[in-house]
Structure 1
Amino acid sequence: MTACLADNAADISTFEEHISMVRNTSVPIYWINLRCDGSVLEKRVTSKERREGNKSKLTDASILRQMIGEHGLLSPRQHDNTVRLIADTIDVSRTLEESVHQLLHILHRQY
């Protein structure tokens, strides 16, 4: 599953629902939050390619700043031994290749 869950009651409930599906199993949950430098994120959101793309995406930097100011990502922590939760953060401010390298490092660290 790919989702953007915020630190609020509804999204915490969604997270707990997914955790309950793997509780007492050997199935791991990989929780990886993506972080991006604000200036880089604004540049990406307002890029010409994004504005001219054929998908409906956010292109207004002021709305982006408002969303970031009003919401924070859910950062779950291991509660007990009944769930194998692997939580980490990737900085996606740089190149795609660097982000992939960070992801692979997280995955390989677990095995």
Structure 2
Amino acid sequence: MDKRLNMLAKRRHLLLTQAAIQRELLMDELAPWQARLAMAEKGLSAVRYVKSHPTLLIGGLALFGLLRPGASLLGRGRAAKWLHTGLATVKIARKLYSMLPKKPLPPQVVK
């Protein structure tokens, strides 16, 4: 029994040594890829952040649309038209909301 345990211990030691050597060789082979993979990981984390905060993306695109060349807030640019339409819509919605009854009407009894 001791002979078998001794043989298993030697085999285990040999396998652990081989695994350590293989890990070292693999690290040497993958070293040039480390910087590229780190950059890819940063890109993926940025995508995950934007995916979890979509308002930032929408706000950034809206800001880009307003500040791009040719878009004028005061002139006849596309942003001015959208702003005018949005303000008109808000005014109409407020007026309609103010016309709604403040309290629910009591049920009417028909005689």
TM bucket, shorter chain: under 0.3
Larger RCO, structure (CA 8 Å, separation 6 or more): 1
More helix by share: 2
TM-score normalised by structure 2 residue count: 0.21
